[in-house]
Amino acid sequence: MQFLCIAKRVVVNEWNSNGNVYSKIRDRKPKSCYTWKEIITGKEDAMNLIFHIDVNSAYLSWSAIERLKLDPSLDLRTIPAIIGGDEKSRHGVVLAKSIPAKKYGVRTGEPVASALRKCPFLHIEPPSHTLYSQRSRELMELLHTYTSDIEQVSIDECYMDYTPISHRFASAQLAARSIADRVRNELGFTVNIGIAPNKLLAKMASDFEKPDRVHTLFPDEIPQKMWPLPVSELFMVGHSSAERLAQLGIRTIGELAATDPEFLQVHFKSHGKMMWEFANGIDESTLDPDSHEAKGIGNSTTLSQDISSAQDAKRILLSLSEQVAVRLRKSHQLARTVTVEIKYSDFHSCSRQTQLSSPSSLSSVLYPCSCRLFEELWNGSPIRLLGVRTSKLVSEDTPIQLSLFDDGFLTEDEHKHKQNQHHSGRDFAPSCSRTDPEKQKRLEEAMDQIRKRYGRDAVVRGSLLKKSR
């Protein structure tokens, strides 16, 4: 008999006389521990849950959306299609495949020539990594409107901590469904979301039936949902390991979970122990927000209705600026450049940027500069999307050399404008904040702590509150 502690519960693996494994779940019964049925119906009490968000056939989906703009009759997702390689030379490998292509046996990673032998009329779309980076950024910006507790692990997948936003939703499952629906409606592609008490199980759950699905994988669901799967489906079990396990008579994840871990270590060394732990749902890794070195931090929002008022636009810019500032401070970085993006109702996009004379992570700096950029950029047409982005990031402890003309946080453009106004004898009215930077920093950090403890809506600027009718 083996006792495995998973998410404050005890999974008891027992073997009968035939050597078959069966599982029981025994609760330690702390107040924060609930069954999976209680969790998905909203009766959980501060139990830590992780979402794994994975774009369905990312490269193909993103290319399909772009292709539809040129030819509305051709959706790559509905025909045998792949991303990658060159159709004429037949060189390269398959980077992504459509579901219809999968039915012909086409596999990701195989040579294009091999894929064409399986499906001679296969449509080949060249990859566009610039496009994929843009779509990935849009997804992350949308997800960061919920929480900054996000760990992006690749261009098309990330982990999100559900705990900070749990008070906003009736249940974790409803929250995940709401996020997935918003991604589909605003960005045009679909995601799978796995819900579990740790990263491993969340990732395994997101790989269940696709596309556009939400799945749970709680400890008491492991025997039914995970153990019957082929061992090759387990995270971190590659093709070579799966073949060696098969030679040892281990073909399912359940059989791997029931194997003596010492036996696995003899054959696979430390990797054997890890495979055994993963097969039993054990993963002690923690979510590490912003673990990758960000080249830029930004947020954007697609509006539920087009807006034509500068006042309404600036209220949105204030909210976006605050979200970006919080993310900058959380990642301990300062931004040197601020960019504002506008997408009009006809889907035409434009952007403008400016450089701050002193890097900052304060919304009191980002917001006024965003407003000035918006005023220079907006042509008066109805607006569908607004975005605020920062770049040229530096560590918050980087020594900053102030300009001789530094009056707080003037942008370089404002320095020039100020000098022109001075020479003409007129007063200069800066658009950026002149509040004491240290005092403003302490204020915004205090707001961060309040929101972290009580939720993002615990502190709201009066200008963001909806006017009562």
Residues recognised as catalytic: 157
d(CA 61, CA 59): 6
Q: Distance from CA of residue 329 to its chain's centroid?
A: 18
How many other CB atoms sit within 10 Å of the CB of residue 142? Answer: 18
- In this structure, which long-range contacts are made by residues 398-404, counting pairs with CB atoms below 8 Å and at least 24 apart in sequence? 398/334, 398/359, 400/334, 400/358, 400/359, 402/357, 402/358, 403/357, 403/358
Q: Please give the C-alpha separations between residue 46 and each of 30, 32, 39, 216, in angstroms, as whole numbers.
A: 11, 6, 10, 17
Whether 308 contacts 225, CB under 8 Å: no
- In this structure, which long-range contacts are made by residues 301-304, counting pairs with CB atoms below 8 Å and at least 24 apart in sequence? 301/142, 301/145, 301/385, 301/386, 301/387, 302/186, 302/187, 302/343, 302/384, 302/385, 303/383, 303/384, 303/385, 303/386
Length of the chain: 469
Q: Which letter does DSSP use for residue 284 in this model?
A: -
Whether 364 contacts 433, CB under 8 Å: yes
Whether 327 contacts 290, CB under 8 Å: yes
